[in-house]
């Protein structure tokens, strides 16, 4: 099973998608510098990312990173579009969730995590742990609430975090560390369930520089990638475009090695006080199919809820699609759930 590995943001596809949905939506690239000052595990293979370690196992990371993102907002401003922003950790490629949400009046900032895509890629992959990205996302959310990211765009009152897979784990790491001080007004965590250390089998990652030397030949070996993409799709191949797999293979990106053991952060209790929803696709071959975990919603909800004792509300929603909810033909069904949750968390409906 391999429940992770970021999908890279594909800017071109993203902008095309936004255009295809008409001129009602304006998109711009932005780069937001964030200061990350946090303790991380000395050992990047620490399954809990140092969040439960004593001081001797930790080191201080104090770094500035540029977070690249694409900001999209409805051209016609409403309270909904100017008060609330969705921070998407892991962009949804095809069909575009950004365009879907924009058509329904919601703004988004889809970002590349630290180490991925056009955001800063630290020379040393061991600096990039979930705790690093959790801290970076919290800084970014605070920035969105206090500063204008583009001329004419006011700071937002509410930031809802929408995470996908490894992006969800980054948001969880931030929720564990920030607890009631989290800048997020709600969390929508997709394609991610809790895993105890060692529970997830080792996925067949390869050093990115060996996988595709022409793109990644200069990276240190602890930036990894995955060339087996099929588990991210439903087993039924009629449910997605065959071209999608090819496209995915060409647009995949790298992740730091810590993305694998660090998934166990999802087994930690978060004293986060906002509302939380988890979404899993019943056809998700990485975390649902064959595990029995997604067969009984009540049981799954009870298991996951334990980790969020202080959440204002907690729910699990099972959707119809696969792991990468945007890449199969069932995407719109998942998107409609995201929009509903975001509006609900923001108090808009
Ligand atoms: C601190 O953690 C290290 C590594 O995990 C361990 O070897 C050491 O015994 C711990 N020290 C204390 C005082 O708990
Ligand atoms: C990465 O940083 C860690 C901690 O500072 C250090 O131990 C390690 O040698 C570095 N690795 C590389 C490849 O520079
Ligand atoms: C993306 O989805 C659209 C349908 O919304 C489809 O026509 C197109 O072929 C898909 N792109 C790829 C690369 O599969
Ligand atoms: C992915 O692309 C690489 C070339 O970058 C190619 O060697 C490999 O066969 C492709 N894999 C799939 C599953 O298409
Ligand atoms: C959550 O709060 C409880 C007590 O209120 C505390 O014991 C626990 O350590 C906290 N957990 C984290 C991860 O901060």
Q: What is the pLDDT along the chain (349 residues), one digit of tens a residue?
A: 333 333 332 223 333 344 444 468 899 999 999 999 999 999 999 999 999 999 999 999 999 999 999 999 999 999 889 999 999 986 445 578 999 999 999 999 999 999 999 999 999 999 999 999 999 999 999 999 999 999 999 999 999 999 999 999 999 999 999 999 999 999 999 999 999 998 887 778 899 999 999 999 999 999 999 878 888 999 999 999 888 888 888 888 999 988 889 999 999 999 999 999 999 999 999 999 999 999 999 999 999 999 999 999 999 999 999 998 888 888 899 999 999 999 999 998 6
| Atom 5 (ligand 3) nearest CA | 95
Beta bridge mates, 319: 281
Candidate of 46, 47, 57, 261 to mutate for ligand 1, largest count of ligand atoms within 8 Å of Cβ: 57
Helix (H) or strand (E) holding 144, with range, is helix 130-146
- Residue 41 near residue 57 (C-beta atoms within 8 A): yes
Residue nearest to atom 3 of ligand 5 (CA): 271
CA 20 centroid distance within chain = 24
Residue 26, φ and ψ in degrees, nearest 5: -110, 135
Q: Are 87 and 170 in contact (CB under 8 A)?
A: no
- Does the global pTM surpass 0.85? yes
Ligand nearest to the CA of 59: 2
- Residue among 269, 310, 311 whose CB has most ligand 5 atoms within 8 A, to mutate: 269
Ligand 1 atom nearest the C-alpha of 54 is 1
In this structure, are strands 255-256 and 276-281 parallel, antiparallel, or unpaired?
A: unpaired
Helices (H), 203-322: 208-211, 213-216, 242-251, 297-305
Pairwise CA distance, residues 329 & 142, whole Å: 35
Q: Could you give the C-alpha distances from 328 to 80, 230, 244, 248, 300, in angstroms and in order?
A: 28, 11, 8, 12, 24
- List all residues whose CB is within 6 A of at least one atom of ligand 4: 212, 227, 246, 249
Q: Is the CB–ligand 1 distance for residue 45 below 6 Å? A: no
pLDDT tens per residue, range 258-299: 888 999 999 999 999 999 999 999 999 999 999 999 999 999
Q: Check residue 239 and give its pLDDT.
A: 93
Instruction: List residues near ligand 2 (CB under 6 A).
Output: 124, 126, 220
Distance between terminal CA atoms of the chain?
37
User: Which ligand 5 atom is the nearest neighbour of the CA of 271?
Assistant: 1
- Tell which atom from ligand 2 comes closest to the C-alpha of 123: 14
Please give the distance, rounded to the nearest whole angstrom, from the Cα atom of residue 265 to the centre of ligand 5.
15
Q: What CATH code is assigned to 11-345?
A: 3.40.50.1820
Q: Which ligand lies nearest to the CA atom of residue 268 in the structure?
A: 5
129 in Cβ contact with 44 (< 8 Å) = yes
Taking CA atoms only, the protein residue closest to ligand 4 atom 10 is: 249
Tell the residue number behind the tokens 């970014």, with chain if given.
140
């Amino acid at each position: 099973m391999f429940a992770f590995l970021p999908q890279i943001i594909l800017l071109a596809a993203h902008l095309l998608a936004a255009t295809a949905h008409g001129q009602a939506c304006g998109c711009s690239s932005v780069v937001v510098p964030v200061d990350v000052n946090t303790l991380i595990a000395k050992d990047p293979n620490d399954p809990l990312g140092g969040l439960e370690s004593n001081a001797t196992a930790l080191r201080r990371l104090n770094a500035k990173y540029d977070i690249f993102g694409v900001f999209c907002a409805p051209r016609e401003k409403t309270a909904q579009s100017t008060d609330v922003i969705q921070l998407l950790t892991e962009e949804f490629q095809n069909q575009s969730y950004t365009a879907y949400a924009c058509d329904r009046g919601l703004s988004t900032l889809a970002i590349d995590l630290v180490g991925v895509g056009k955001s800063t890629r630290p020379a040393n992959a061991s600096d990039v742990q979930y705790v690093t990205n959790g801290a970076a996302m919290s800084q970014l959310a605070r920035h969105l609430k206090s500063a204008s990211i583009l001329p004419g765009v006011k700071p937002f009152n509410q930031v809802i975090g929408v995470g996908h897979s490894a992006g969800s784990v980054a948001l969880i790491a931030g929720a564990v560390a920030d607890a009631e001080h989290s800048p997020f007004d709600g969390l929508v965590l997709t394609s991610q369930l809790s895993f105890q250390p060692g529970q997830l089998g080792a996925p067949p990652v390869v050093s990115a520089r060996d996988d595709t030397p022409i793109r990644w030949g200069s990276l240190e070996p602890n930036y990894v990638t995955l060339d087996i993409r099929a588990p991210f799709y439903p087993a039924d191949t009629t449910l997605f475009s065959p071209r999608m797999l090819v496209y995915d293979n060409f647009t995949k990106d790298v992740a730091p090695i810590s993305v694998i053991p660090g998934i166990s952060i999802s087994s930690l209790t978060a004293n986060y006080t906002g509302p939380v929803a988890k979404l899993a696709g019943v056809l998700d071959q990485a975390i649902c199919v064959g595990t029995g975990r997604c067969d009984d919603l009540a049981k799954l909800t009870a298991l996951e809820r334990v980790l969020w004792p202080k959440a204002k509300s907690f729910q699990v929603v099972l959707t119809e699609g696969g792991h990468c909810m945007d890449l199969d033909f069932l995407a719109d069904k998942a998107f409609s759930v995201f929009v509903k949750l975001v509006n609900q968390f923001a108090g808009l409906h």
